[in-house]
Chain A
Amino acid sequence: MSSTVRLFSRLMERHLIWVLLAVLVAVGLTVPGFASLQNITNVLWAAAPLGCMVLGLFLVLLIKEVDLSLESSFAFAPAVAIVAMTVWAPDVVHPVLAVILTPVVGLLVGLAAGAFAVNLRVNAFLVTLATLLVMRGAVVFLIPEGVYYLPAEYTYLGEARWFGIPVAIFVWLVLYGVAYIFMERHRIGKEIYAIGNNEEAAFLAGVKVHRTKILCFGIAGLAAAIGGLLEVGRLQSVVADLGEGDILMVFAGTILGGTSLNGGIGRLSGVFGAVIVIAIIENLMNLTGIEPSIRQMVFGCVLLVAIYLASLQDRFALRASRN
């Protein structure tokens, strides 16, 4: 094999999402307004909440499960924290405490759904479909009109800037950094991949399969809640339909990033790239003034092509492993 061919197949095999990103950026450079610092930070700022949810779904797909309710946790966790802060116990729940409370609520609802699905052996798709409805209903009940005046401490992570760059971007990067360390440098990451690839083999190798799977659901809920916290801060308000319908985009990002629906296959770097790809596609549509009425169609078509390309990556990887 010549070295160019090898380089090409290696790109296709492991880094296709970055190729895609490079192509998009190249297209972007021809679009006026794209290459400004202002625009780039805005793109990333808007991408951060989605990125958090994608991380959650990534973990759950790796263990061959699914969590549809992430978009509801995304709203439910901040809503509970905000209502606790403003209505239930304003004396106890200081805004800073509410910031901490938000991911804790996400963690708990994730663990609960995971325990239900894993311990009672119920299909996670159905369990989380139910919790999606329950949590959305609870949000509508708690804040039917939304909450528009939030203390600065609560919106800080989503809204403030350091050196002109939104803090939300740092939060997102830190979250992925920590996740990366756990996936690649910690026993738990190796066990997650093992479970997704071959649950029975992992069990016979002594991995605590149930506990690890429930933990993945918990972390997914936590990540979604952090995403919600960032989004609430960015919008400086919380509305009852926050994140509603986003789960489809979360799936798009996770799968575009090379995560297999059959478990065990996927890279954190891949889904990270995919989140940026999606954000840039949306941004380019804004900048080029594609009419809002057809934007969804354009986006769908772009996704179709992108996901087809991502599926090529699997085939390339398979062929490479055979050689």
Chain B
Amino acid sequence: MIQSAALPATEAPSYRLAGLTKTFPGLTAVADVDLSVRRGEIHGIIGRNGAGKSVLMSLISGAQQATSGTIEIGGESVAIADYDPVRAHGLGVSLVPQEPKFAPRLSVVDNMFMGQPLTRSFGFLRRADMRRKAVEVAEAVGLIVDPDALMLTLPIESQQLLAFGKAQFIDEAKVILLDEITASLSRERKTMLLSLLRDLVHRHPDRSYTLISHHVSEIMEFCDRVTVMRDARAVATLDVAATTGAELANWIVGDIPVMSLDGLSRAVPEGQSRPIARISGLTRRGVFEDVTLSLGTGDVVGFAGLDGSGKDEAAEALFGLGKLDAGTFEMEGKVLHLASPGEAMKHRIALLPKHRERQAVIQGRSIAENTLISSYRQFSTALGLIDSRRARQVTADKIVEFKVKAKGPEIGMSGLSGGNKQKVLIARLTLNAPRLLILNEPTRGVDLATKPEILKAVRTDLSRDSAVIVLTESEEEMITVCDRIYVFFRGRIIAVLNRGKENFTVSALYKTIQGV
């Protein structure tokens, strides 16, 4: 200990993790991670969704407590059992989260100095000084703001930059963790911020920056070293100068066996496929442009891309959500101008929304009502009253067909597991006999046993008489279930991968999505 104290401060690592592990019931989110980040370094953390990056950050910042392992900040060991955000703050650790956590109705200056205002004697505030400082900080991160403006009047990307500015210049944190801060930034802002990081790290060699990113290209451009996470583990730490984007992508993807779904040929052979939808030049300026594709019965196609690539918006536009600036959408020969989900459903288009609990589940009601809510009209008598016997029968049939594990149709929806809820919601869609089925994240929050069941249904029953568009963050699932994958990149389809071709692999898809 005496020796290490004698060392110059720059030689102790900025922070060091050893054997860090975080388990949740039934899940290990972070497993045995060793990581040592130097002072004066921009250290990238990359990995696919669910690899454990964000949980790792929350352990370092004290937002969650590690199950076992050690954390050392600036050479000082912390007791993981009572490590919390207050202690982390005291040690100079600051996390800039994905979603900035400001008080929306307070002013910029009040938010920036929240918890540590500049004061004179008796606690009176130095308002003018704080205002001046807030403007300076904003300028340093490339913003011009009125310090008295309410936080909510600023766009989210500005808030994120201010959150970084606060950590850097007001908290003067020594360990700054940036959790996907680049995700909501525009391209120019992103480059500006990352260049600023380079400059800052140069000027403050005692600090370190840890940057979580989904983008291989950003890591390659701006980081000194990068740690790759896969399945909760840190599988490699690489020197960026000595690696390539493709090599990094290989580390990220790893050796993934593609799920096998036996006998998964198309529900409708290619030759017998009947045309269903023709989409040409579909555009919402600045979001997605010139989306063109044709779909027939039995087709299962994927829309792949990073968040913000426009894939979600393009898929939702086919369900009547959001405005279109150009392009045509034809279903079975008819040109559609959809203004609402109700209209889309009349033309037999169905959407499984991306966020299940928020956008699809009707929490307080029964399985039966959740199944039937879109199609009560079909089960109504002349007076508009529900034919309860038929409704009950249909729900019971769907429960059997989709193997929903529940005691009966009258059980409350909230008692079901994620996978069973998803089955109920897919059953809901099938009741309107859709011709175009858009499934956004059909396997998110679904248990491992249910995932293949859902994917299998997509390739068999669900595509028997219709075309299916699948969006999923798992490249394996895309490769498993799709015939064609349209890859979106900054709003455009930059590639189409076809089943049977040699580039129809998880790693080729991942690289195409990343644009490397």
Contact = CB atoms under 8 A, between A and B. Distances in A.
Physical interaction between A and B: yes
Interface of A: 181, 185-188, 190-191, 193-194, 197-198, 200-208, 264-265, 321-322
A214 to B, nearest CB: 16
Given A190-B373, A204-B341, 20 more contacts: A186-B384, A186-B386, A187-B377, A187-B386, A190-B365, A193-B364, A194-B365, A194-B369, A197-B362, A197-B364, A198-B358, A201-B359, A201-B360, A204-B319, A205-B341, A205-B362, A205-B428, A206-B341, A264-B365, A321-B415
Instruction: Give the interface centre of B345, B373, B386 by most chain A CB atoms within 10 Å.
Output: B373
B415 A187 contact: no
Given A185-B386, A187-B380, A201 B362 contact: yes
B138 interface: no
Contacts of B359: 198, 200-201, 204
A58 B419 CA distance: 34
A266 to B, nearest CB: 10
Interface in B382-398: 384-386, 388
A194 B362 contact: yes
Contact of A198 (B351, B363, B377, B388): B363
Contacts of A186: 380, 384-386
B373 A207 contact: yes
Nearest to B412: A321
Interface string B324-344: 000000000000000001100
B358 A200 contact: yes
A197 B363 contact: yes
B386 A321 contact: no
Instruction: Give the interface centre of A193, A204, A264, A265 by most chain B CB atoms within 10 Å.
Output: A204
B385 A181 contact: yes
A322 B360 CA distance: 20
Interface of B: 319, 341-342, 345, 351, 353, 358-365, 369, 372-374, 376-377, 380, 384-386, 388, 412, 414-415, 428
A55 B331 CA distance: 44
Given A186-B386, A187-B384, A321-B415, A206 B362 contact: no
Contacts of A321: 412, 414-415
A198 B370 CA distance: 11
25 contacts: A181-B385, A187-B380, A187-B386, A190-B369, A191-B373, A193-B364, A193-B365, A193-B369, A194-B369, A197-B365, A201-B358, A201-B360, A201-B361, A203-B341, A204-B319, A204-B353, A204-B359, A204-B360, A205-B341, A205-B362, A205-B428, A264-B362, A264-B364, A321-B412, A321-B415
Instruction: Give the interface centre of A181, A193, A265 by most chain B CB atoms within 10 Å.
Output: A193
A204 B376 CA distance: 15
Nearest to A318: B414
B376 A190 contact: yes
A198 B361 contact: yes
Nearest to A181: B385
A186 B342 CA distance: 19
Nearest to B344: A206
Contacts of B412: 321
B391 to A, nearest CB: 10
Contacts of A190: 365, 369, 372-373, 376, 386
What are the 10 tightest A-B residue pairs by CB atom distance, in nearest-first order?
A187-B376, A206-B345, A206-B342, A205-B374, A197-B362, A197-B364, A194-B362, A205-B373, A185-B385, A206-B374
A206 B344 CA distance: 8
A209 to B, nearest CB: 9
Given A187-B376, A191-B373, A205-B341, A198 B386 contact: no
Contact of B351 (A194, A202, A204, A265): A204
B439 to A, nearest CB: 13
Nearest to B369: A190
A202 B415 CA distance: 20
A185 B374 CA distance: 15
Contacts of B376: 187, 190-191
Contacts of B360: 201, 204-205
A188 B364 CA distance: 17
A43 to B, nearest CB: 33
A21 B347 CA distance: 51
Nearest to A262: B364
Contacts of B369: 190, 193-194
